[in-house]
Chain A
């Protein structure tokens, strides 16, 4: 059961998408700029981001056209949209980024709801994406959220996959407000995950897990969470699902906020000039698993975060 706020993201974007498909056939009045938003409706977080983006752009003389990569008619819809020459094309999620870059959308391309590590090694994007809002939460922000909830816990460990790209260990360490309080361990494969995690015992108060499907999935979740409980070493996850599974706490982007942030970026890109910007989420959410915290013997400061989601 969830308190304070629902963990399930509503799907107003789906209804918005159905309504706004009409825009694909509508003509745009003079002075109104066209923005194409390519997104996967099957992913609820992306739909939530699109809703945030759409609402933020409403009333700014911008016509937003939604194209769903999960629809069978996407190819035809994309061709139709390209003919209209949108000023900015927003790609939401990596599938949408690939779909946009495969086609010759004119104008500027803004990528959002992707992870920087997933994009870093992708040569096809070099020079093609004008600006981006990544989902990577700066380590400084992450640690600050943990300190709000658990003021006495100051030592933090982080598991990093060196094979995924993104920031190096020294770059991550330099981003921390107190670099000495952050210990980083590399883990390249799922087989190494448990020994790497266990090596943090008695050295840190938390172990941060960064989004990485090769390390954290249905096969590795159980032994990792069991080890966390057995050794009383809490996991800091990256999603509500991870908290539901058994991580003690998670800090994750506010997806609607990412959409709003993307809308601000889009508005800058609609103006003449350079709008290149690589941003991280301005707003983050946090969730705790009260049951797991009780099993670990930990208390948290609920009042520190009025929007905290508490799973029981």
Chain B
């Protein structure tokens, strides 16, 4: 994961609400290993008909790869907890997603992988959709340290969890940071499992063969 400071890139609109993770990456592609890449499967069933021809109603059909900034309808990433939805978007080329709301687990998965999600009020999202309608090549710039977003006339600040911001700016992975707290974990665990013996499952009786 590399560090992130400012992002300036072409934005695209996906003005549909409730795009669930089944639509971002259909379940049938999920047995792939990460190294194989998920980009070409991103939004697959929204991009292509069952016969494999491109769908005329797909809002991003003019793009060969994902936009740097995806501006999406509300509740983006709801549904299944599959992290492959984040892999698919990142491998597709998306670095930032802006929406009025996100599915919780999706948003958490995004943060862990360095995909920035930004929540803006619905009125701003509608304005950005309108601007992108007029200028589909419009750029949006995001200043992560300053927590500001600039899209055409709109120049506003956004919220981000302090720990997530710290990690994203430095490209740190969460696991390594937690392992530095191992002493605290060990001490807590001894007390937690020691005082309530029932918490540790019984070993099953050996099964007769």
A complexed with B: no
